[in-house]
Structure 1
Amino acid sequence: TIIMGHPNMMAVPGVQWPIQLALVSPMSDFLKVTLIIGADCTAFKVDNFKQQFVGKDPLVIGCPKLDDRARFDRLVEIFKNNPIDRVRVIRMEVPCCSQLTRIVKASIEASGKSIPCEETVIGRDGGKL
């Protein structure tokens, strides 16, 4: 859905763009309160992913196996520059995806902030583990 005429389309709940971590500016005004960090595959394995896990919270996605590690360094700047008070990581159960939570926690630590980080693991069948 495109909302025309809204002065800041990025701030409209559910209309955030971009969502790829590599494209999200660390100074984006939608990065507030709870940040959802999803592994790329999760949205394609879970029916109603957005309704179940995202709601109106900002979402960034990435793949710890396929994305360059430097892309994830952007998270440190996101955490430093925004009023984020909680992070929720949604990842797959596969071994390569477990790195996502480690990367996020290391980025929080490197930012110098104390931000709680929750993890939800999705099974290969699309169910929550």
Structure 2
Amino acid sequence: MAHTGCGCPGSMARVIERVESAPAEATGKAPSELRQWPVQLHLVPPTAPWFQNSDILVAADCVAFALGSFHADLLKGKALAIACPKLDNTAPYVEKLATILKENEVKSLTIAIMEVPCCRGLDVLVRQALELSGKNVPVETVIIGVNGERRN
């Protein structure tokens, strides 16, 4: 695998060949399942009402673009926080997520990351935050391939 100047194989330029397909529904438009704003982890308030008694999805930024059925398959019924473990300043993320978990009754955590190595950092920091919070919340990690397929 060739590396780019930045050293991360996940940053390697790739062309993804697609075969044209018919829309999934006659309307051609899937409804949004987004239930709150903002969604960026840096911006969400830890005590926002949407985190109370919730299932939380912490997704890497690229997941929603790679997984065409993101809204239906991962987002539906969940509070959302998005982040990029490669490009964001992630230093405050562990503490912020730990505060979200401490201050709210959270039913479950889903971590959605891309298959590229640099994305694994998001899984690690969410799990660190859970440990720091002292809470026992079920966690599932979903890995999405760069071609848009679910890897696990």
TM-score w.r.t. the length of structure 2 is: 0.74
- 2:58 partner letter: I
| Uncovered stretches (5+) of structure 1, i.e. residues with no partner | 1-12
Q: CA deviation at 1:74?
A: 0.8
What residue is the counterpart of 1:37 in the other structure? Answer: 58
SS at match of 2:85: coil
Q: Within 5 Å, which residues of 2 pair with 1:71-90?
A: 71-72=92-93, 73-90=95-112
Bigger Rg over Cα: 2
Q: Within 5 Å, which residues of 2 pair with 1:1-129?
A: 14-31=34-51, 32-72=53-93, 73-129=95-151
Q: CA deviation at 1:33?
A: 2.4
Q: CA deviation at 1:112?
A: 1.0
Which stretches of structure 1, 4 residues or more, deviate above 3 A after TM superposition? none
Give the Cα–Cα distance (whole angstroms) in 2 for the partners of residues 94 and 52 of structure 1: 20
Q: Say if 1:90 and 1:82 are closer, same or farther in 2 by CA, change over 3 A.
A: same
Q: CA deviation at 1:66?
A: 1.0
Give the Cα–Cα distance (whole angstroms) in 1 for the partners of residues 46 and 120 of structure 2: 24
Give a deviation string over 1:83-122, Cα, whole Å, max 9, x none: 1021000100000001111110100000111111100000
What residue is the counterpart of 1:10 in the other structure? Answer: none
Identity score, percent: 37
Q: How many equivalent pairs are there?
A: 117
Q: CA deviation at 1:14?
A: 3.2
Give the Cα–Cα distance (whole angstroms) in 2 for the partners of residues 118 and 83 of structure 1: 17
Give the Cα–Cα distance (whole angstroms) in 2 for the partners of residues 68 and 55 of structure 1: 28
